[in-house]
Amino acid sequence: MEVVTLTGANFEEEVLKSDVPVLVDFWASWCGPCKMLSPLVDQVAAEANGSFKVGKVNVDDESELAEKYNIMSIPALKVFKGGEVVRESVGMIPKDRVKALVEGL
């Protein structure tokens, strides 16, 4: 499944109104741990089989979204279901923990 680039313009449609859970990766190009986590998030997205979606928010480009969801440190992963944050993680985590965030939803 393809990773969606999330912006203020499409966040509501892609995330808040989604029929399936959405894993959102808040990141920035200058962030070392983000660069390590990003390929893991991409791998999890590739294995999604439609049971959930994955999107990424560049916090430098989308500072309003980062502010709205209280992003203080990156990388930050948040899982949205029914328009609400149901699970979250901050910092670099292994792929199995990324996957565990969306499993069982």
Residues with a known catalytic role: 31, 34
Report the alpha-carbon distance of residue 78 to residue 98 in Å, rounded: 10
Q: How, if at all, do strands 53-58 and 84-90 pair? A: unpaired
- Residue linked to tokens 């670099």: 92
Please give the distance of CA 56 from its chain centroid, rounded to a whole number: 5
User: Could you give the residue ranges of the DSSP H alpha helices within 15-77?
Assistant: 32-46, 63-68
